[in-house]
């Protein structure tokens, strides 16, 4: 025999089911809004990066339905190609695609110096404007942390004056013997000893922290070079003195 449900029980069941339904529908709405918004904003950032007037961007917009296109075009007004948000989004998209340009960057690094100073400067400038997500990569083609060994002593000393000692210790953890020797040689004996002790006490350092520290030191080199305070010297420059 089926038990009869009281009015209060029915009311409680209705309230519970409605609350659960509200949660379910609310969650789905938030997710749909998020996906829709992320889709539109991601599209807008990619369009801005490609250039609103480019054929690629126009083709993409032409293939969208009216409402989506209108939303994308509205969002593009909020961004510039050089914006950190745009570069981050495009970098994530390209990295996620699995594209690997290692060989191309090796070709550039091996040949950029030989191409001539004027050509190298103009080409790098144009590349950085056209493909800003790889600005650090192209800078590494011109100068990398390992190239510290080719800087003259005066340049090294100026870089060290602008460098945090802990940052330097991390950077040297992943450096070659040549780079370490060059750095230590341009410090006082006491300062070099303290730095070596810091490196020893620091223990193992994550590769990403080493890369970050080295990148920061390279930025200092570029800043000082752009200000005219130092001259960047590369292996090719050193070798040319003996030809």
Contact predicate 27/38, CB 8 Å = no
Q: Is the pLDDT of residue 98 over 80?
A: yes
Q: Give pLDDT tens digits for 123-167.
A: 888 888 888 888 777 777 777 888 899 899 999 999 999 999 999
What lies within 8 Å, CB to CB, of 155 at 6+ separation is: 221, 224, 230, 231, 232, 233
Distance between CA atoms of residues 94 and 42, nearest Å: 13
How far the first Cα of the chain sits from its last, in Å, is 106
Question: What is the percent of the chain with per-residue pLDDT over 70, rounded to a whole number?
Answer: 91
Cα–Cα distances (Å) from 127 to 58, 72, 108, 179, 231, in that order, read 22, 26, 12, 29, 22
Q: pLDDT class for 105, splitting at 50, 70, 90?
A: confident
Number of Cα atoms under 13 Å in the Cβ half of residue 132 = 17
Burial 186-207 (b: 16+ CB within 10 A, else e): bbeeeeeeebeeebeeeeebee
Task: Tell me the mean pLDDT in the region 89-98.
Answer: 85
pLDDT digits (tens, 9 = 90+) for 156-192: 999 999 999 999 999 999 899 999 999 999 999 999 9
Sequence-separated (6 or more) residues with CB below 8 Å from residue 123:
112, 115
Model confidence, pTM: 0.53
Within 10 Å of residue 90's Cβ, how many Cβ atoms? Answer: 20
């Amino acid at each position: 025999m089926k038990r009869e449900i009281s009015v209060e029980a029915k009311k409680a069941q209705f309230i519970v089911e409605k609350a659960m339904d509200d949660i379910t529908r609310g969650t789905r709405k938030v997710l749909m809004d998020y996906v829709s918004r992320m889709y539109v904003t991601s599209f807008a950032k990619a369009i801005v990066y490609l250039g609103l007037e480019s054929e690629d961007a126009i083709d993409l917009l032409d293939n969208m339905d009216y409402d989506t296109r209108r939303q994308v075009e509205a969002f593009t007004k909020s961004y510039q190609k050089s914006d950190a948000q745009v570069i981050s989004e495009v970098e994530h998209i390209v990295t996620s695609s699995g594209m690997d340009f290692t060989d191309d960057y090796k070709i550039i690094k091996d040949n950029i110096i030989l191409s001539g100073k004027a050509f190298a400067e103009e080409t790098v400038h144009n590349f950085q404007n056209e493909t800003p997500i790889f600005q650090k990569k192209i800078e590494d083609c011109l100068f990398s942390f390992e190239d510290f060994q080719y800087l003259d002593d005066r340049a090294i000393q100026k870089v060290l004056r602008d460098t945090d000692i802990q940052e330097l210790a991390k950077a040297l953890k992943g450096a070659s013997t040549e780079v370490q020797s060059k750095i230590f040689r341009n410090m006082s004996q006491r300062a070099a000893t303290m730095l070596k002790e810091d490196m020893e006490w620091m223990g193992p350092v994550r590769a990403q922290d080493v890369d970050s520290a080295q990148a920061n030191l390279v930025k200092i080199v570029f800043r000082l070079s752009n200000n005219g305070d130092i001259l960047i010297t590369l292996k090719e420059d050193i070798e040319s003195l003996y030809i």
